[in-house]
Structure 1
């Protein structure tokens, strides 16, 4: 590998900075690391790696490196089609119009876009952009819906609603929060309010009410005892999948996924007794949202490796005041039915016992998350990632991959029970794509997987780029890596060439 200089700077992200430096130190030869580009390096960078946050790197060097220079950067310059919720929604909608049989048709929640600054603008939208949604709400359906700002993260501004009046009230509360912020200054605590004067783009998505529920306590930490079955409670969770996009364009999925749990047992949202609206579900969203940023008080207790959950019980929503299914399952098993006074021969007794045993075994297996379930979910995710980036490629104004760039994304997905007649037990749903994901929320226990994926990026993205021109070993190995194969815990999901060797 040729010698090169590496710009490494991550203001406000010391963990990322440390991971990048460790990854570079594992390369041979390791590069000279700088924290800023001198004027000389800008004019004549030579072999330069910019592994820095988006705002710290020189994008002009990425787009048009000087002659006789090789510049590799850790971010695509244009990628709004992926990382902005309203752009991603539009991108997937356009793609499904052309490719209705894509797996995204099941993986992308039903979504509407809206752009507004004041609550009273909703009145016109019900007869235009939101007409279909209005029909759903007016039908009296028991579905719930999520409002999400298009350009926020960490759960900011997310709200639940099920009626037009509730949605209007949410926007009115945003306007009130905006005026109160002007008067009182900074917000306090874990407030998720936003200012509509600063954010105009929103998406509305169908709330996935049949999510897979598990209890992270079944994978105890710090040598804590595993709770008995009757004490387990179903918690909602989402999967954080780390994804690497390289060049123009190859997509890799890191196979060690995180399950990020809500710290509160899941209870289905309710409008209140007898259809009244006297319960404000948005007063405490802890049980409904799984954003790690909103679960700080629970720390690492809410984070597990997805593979650690194999063997955990699949649980129902918690219903306060009702007996748990686990307790109910302790009731005596019914005996085989037979007519009073009619004796069964030995063969019939053995057949009956075998049938009952098989039924109990099947019920137990269906209530456990198996290794086959996890593998199927991973296969779905790999397929969804490939399709998502293919969709982004068709929105070329807002996603332009380059051969001399790569990028690390955190993909959030949720798993639900499949609807009939799907042959699958579970269905994966894409929530959002995050650039520069908040990896520090993973916690110290699982920092090793971050070290692993950053080291893999060095091997797969950086090393081949700076390989000596007369050395083809690394390039040949990468070229021979087929879609579906896994190396360095990275599974290749997509490998396409975008408009020649220079990409966009």
Structure 2
């Protein structure tokens, strides 16, 4: 590998800064690290790596075609088709119009865009842009809910759930009221907790269908659901204690919703890799379907705590709700018992003539009750995880294909790479005729993911991830072209894993140059 200079700057993300520097130390030779781009370096960058926050990157250098320079940047300049909710919704919709058999048909939520300034504009929209949603609402299906997400808000801010047109009307009226309040005034006790949102972020909304019998509301921290999805996969993180304590017995477990944080790396124009160590982020309290929460009160009174899985809204819990997906193997699947629980447990059997004292009878009854309860629930297996990972890879491959077709808002170039934090939710369909037991569903794509919320216990996976990025994206770029390097790159097939990165897409765009 040739010598090069590395510009590293993450002023508001010290953990990312440390991980980048640590990853660069694994390269040979190690680059010369600078924390600012001097005018001389900009004028004559030579071999330069920009591994920095988006706002610190010199994007003109990324697009430069100076024959005396070789610049690699840690972000694509144009990628709104992926990282903005309403653009991603539109991107997937357009792609499915052309490719109706894509896995995105069942691996991404049905969505509506809503551009609105005042609540009274809703009446007209029900007969226009939202006419098909209006038809769904008029069916009055108690299991159908929708989630409203401001297009420019993040980290779970501004999320609202609604079931009727009237509830959506009240939500917008609530936003209008907040807009008229003094700027910066703290939100009152409206039941929304930390999901308040700046009114400047409210204009562009994405409304997504939510079926509470499916994974629906689960990730209100970015919860996207589709009509046809089954029950949410519910597990209890307490079955994987973070200390030396014993896991609680089955009868004390409670099903929690969770979403999966998947780290994905896009490189050049374009290869896409999925990091195979996936995080599961759990809600703080057990899941309750919204139809059982709401008792005819105001929409704003709906408690979102059972549905919020975003770690940025649960900072007081620390690492309590974070697990590696593989750690959940053996946990009981609490979303759908295999058999109905008997109303009355049978008396314990005993041999003829054998005397049993009351304590023995009670102990035997408890044992049989525990065995009967155990038989109702299946466990989460390694095979289940393998299937979910395969689905995630397929959905992400199609998502990036969709973004590529929206070229105005996604323009991959050969001298850039980018790390994304992508959120999925897993639904559970226990019906015997279900095409699949578990289904991974895309929620959203985040640039510059908040990796510091992973917590110190699992920081090692981030260290491994960044080292993998350095070896997969950085090292080859600054390595002189050779037949050996080309052969190694060509032999990395889609579906193969190296450096714990599973390749899920390999496209050659725009005449092989990506420009």
What is the TM-score of this pair, normalised by structure 1?
0.88
Deviates more, 1:176-185 or 1:118-127: 176-185
1:186–1:50 Cα change, 3 Å: farther
- Counterpart Cα distance in 2 of 1:186 and 1:38: 44
- Counterpart Cα distance in 2 of 1:187 and 1:44: 55
SS in 1 for 2:19: helix
* Matching residue of 1:203: 206
**Residue in structure 2 matching 1:415, options 426, 435, 457:** 426
1:329–1:212 Cα change, 3 Å: farther
**Residue in structure 2 matching 1:269, options 282, 290, 306:** 290
> 1:44–1:66: 8 Å Cα contact kept in structure 2?
no
* Matching residue of 1:439: 451
Q: Does 1:367 align with 2:391?
A: no
- The CA deviation at 1:375 is 0.6
**Residue in structure 2 matching 1:312, options 328, 331, 334:** 331
* Matching residue of 1:151: 152
* Matching residue of 1:455: 467
- The CA deviation at 1:299 is 1.3
* Matching residue of 1:219: 240
* Matching residue of 1:479: 490
1:84-483 alignment, distance < 5 Å: 84-142=84-142, 143-182=144-183, 184=185, 191-209=194-212, 210-270=231-291, 277-278=296-297, 280=299, 283-316=302-335, 331-332=345-346, 364=375, 367-418=378-429, 421-469=433-481, 471-483=482-494
Gaps of 5+ in 1: 319-324, 336-359
> 1:266–1:317: 8 Å Cα contact kept in structure 2?
no
- Counterpart Cα distance in 2 of 1:76 and 1:200: 26
- Counterpart Cα distance in 1 of 2:377 and 2:274: 28
Gaps of 5+ in 2: 213-230, 350-370
Q: Give the aligned CA root-mean-square deviation in angstroms.
A: 2.6
> 2:153–2:197: 8 Å Cα contact kept in structure 1?
no
Count of matched residue positions in the alignment of Structure 1 and Structure 2: 471
SS in 1 for 2:246: coil
1:282–1:257 Cα change, 3 Å: farther
SS in 1 for 2:247: coil
**Displaced runs of 4 or more, over 6 A:** 185-189
> 1:272–1:278: 8 Å Cα contact kept in structure 2?
no
* Matching residue of 1:30: 30
1:390–1:229 Cα change, 3 Å: same
What is the TM-score of this pair, normalised by structure 2?
0.86
User: What does the per-residue CA deviation read over 1:313-369, in whole Å, with 9 as the maximum and x for residues that have no partner?
Assistant: 011389xxxxxx99869934999xxxxxxxxxxxxxxxxxxxxxxxx99x8496111
- Counterpart Cα distance in 1 of 2:478 and 2:465: 19
> 2:336–2:377: 8 Å Cα contact kept in structure 1?
no
- The CA deviation at 1:479 is 2.1
* Matching residue of 1:68: 68
Deviates more, 1:205-214 or 1:143-152: 205-214
- Counterpart Cα distance in 1 of 2:459 and 2:172: 39
> 1:456–1:488: 8 Å Cα contact kept in structure 2?
yes
- The CA deviation at 1:280 is 4.5
- Counterpart Cα distance in 2 of 1:306 and 1:191: 27
Deviates more, 1:22-31 or 1:203-212: 203-212
- Counterpart Cα distance in 2 of 1:334 and 1:430: 48
- Counterpart Cα distance in 2 of 1:365 and 1:467: 57
- The CA deviation at 1:270 is 2.3
Deviates more, 1:239-248 or 1:177-186: 177-186
